A = this chain, B = another copy of it.
Amino acid sequence: MDDVTRPLAAFLVRTHYDDLPAKVRQEAVRTLVNWMGACLGGSREAPVAAAIAALGPISGGAQAGLVARPERCDVTTAALINGIAGHVLDFDDTHPNTLIHPSTTVLPVLLALAELKPFDGKTFLAALSLGIETSCRIGNAVSPAHYRRGWHITGTAGVFGATAAAGKVLALSEQQMVWALGLAASQPVGLREALGSMAKGFNAGRAASNGLTAAFLASRNFETSPRMIESDTGWAQATTGVRDLHAVTDGLGDRYEAALNTYKPFACGLVLHAAITAVLRAREMSRIDAGQITHVDAQVHPMALEVANKTAPADGYEGKLSLPHAVAVALITGAAGDKEFRTAAVKDPQVVALRGRVTAQANAGLKPDQARVTIALEDGRRVEAFAAHALGSASVPMSDQQLDRKFTALADEVLPSAKSAKVLSLCRGVAGLENTAQLIAATWPD
């Protein structure tokens, strides 16, 4: 098999902010805005509190902070916990082809490193873009077989992005970057079985901290094989049984996967967004009294049911992977934001009742961002709506203004609005920052 680890490492080492296309730089800023909002919103969640309670006492250091929280810990623990916070609401960015949430393993690494040894905004954006590029290219090469085998690709491919970003900030040599990627390959994190539990966020956070560990070890010449990704006894073969990895290196530097990142208008699994879009369209088309609905039929791409067909979700985390819940709550409220995927909404009797009248069908004729809903009402009416592209997908991306509004809605739940506006402004202006440690510092309680 052709080398992929070394050409990828060489690309990562030689590419700097000035080499990135404008679209990639812009997307990196949008990714930061979106993730920071999601992380602020997630910073009060139970898994974050549990992780702090568990790991605080075995983290001796106080090198790095947590988003919107007073605690400090060592950099790898900080990355782990911020990764949990960033992913827990399932409101972070998504690379559509792989379903990787690429920034949530990368940004916690950059926030932690910025505190350890400050660096500027252009370095930050370059490392973020290259980290995303790394995860998504490796993910492309093993998709969809990798996810089908049971891996939670956000963690298993995301560890490479975390490592690439850390290695970029640490200014690793090409050989060191080869070793760092090899140590990342040794540490894939995450199984799909964890989806719908606290441990979904853990997979993101642990991948982030593994990337830091890999890059620091490589910086001191901790060696491994130069073909850890591509060898017959390496990562792609062991995790997925895949040998053809040309997608990792084809067009490196010419085409950017990082330019294809998308942001969620809805606080749930991406595979549910088309169905929600169709529901919202139906509500726009016709007055629908949720109490009058006798039945809802949702036709979706098969992947949506494979990933997210929890018919009786027990809490908010399971609700994020429940097609019946997403359809029901959107029909009743006309929304599908953070609030609609909280445990209270999942247990709301009206939602529970309507959920029981939703059936879902896999339709291989639909694309992943398409869905059709048919709503039958007591008065005999049938309302049908088709979503040709889910809101927030590559064809209907969220605008900057929509992203800012999403950020503010999440951040204002956690921060005073002046502080929330300050964080947004720093994220939007990250390219001009001399010291990116300001980003996280602006989120801390006074």
Contact = CB atoms under 8 A, between A and B. Distances in A.
A219 interface: yes
B212 A58 contact: yes
Contact of A51 (B57, B190, B222): B222
Nearest to A61: B60
Contacts of A185: 191, 193
Interface in A86-100: none
**Identical copies in the complex:** 2
Nearest to A152: B186
Contacts of A220: 50-51, 53-54
B238 A224 contact: no
A187 B208 CA distance: 13
A155 B185 CA distance: 13
Measured as residues with beta carbon below 8 angstroms from the partner, the interface class of chain A is 35 or more
A240 to B, nearest CB: 9
Interface string A184-203: 01111111111111110011
Contacts of A444: none
Given A186-B191, A193-B233, A199 B216 contact: no
Contact of A150 (B192, B218, B232): B232
Contacts of A60: 59-63, 73-74
Contact of A194 (B75, B195, B224): B224
Contacts of A266: none
A206 B187 contact: yes
A368 interface: no
Given A191-B228, A227-B193, A217 B51 contact: yes
B187 A189 contact: yes
A435 interface: no
A143 interface: no
A436 interface: no
A150 B194 CA distance: 24
A235 interface: yes
Given A225-B194, A231-B193, A183 B199 contact: yes
A149 interface: yes
Nearest to A150: B238
Contacts of A22: none
Interface of A: 47, 50-51, 53-55, 57-63, 73-76, 116, 149-151, 155, 182-183, 185-199, 202-203, 206, 212-213, 216-225, 227-228, 231-235, 237-239, 241
5 contacts: A51-B217, A59-B61, A60-B62, A150-B232, A191-B235
Given A58-B216, A149-B238, A191-B228, 10 more contacts: A50-B217, A51-B217, A54-B216, A54-B217, A58-B74, A59-B60, A60-B61, A193-B231, A196-B225, A197-B224
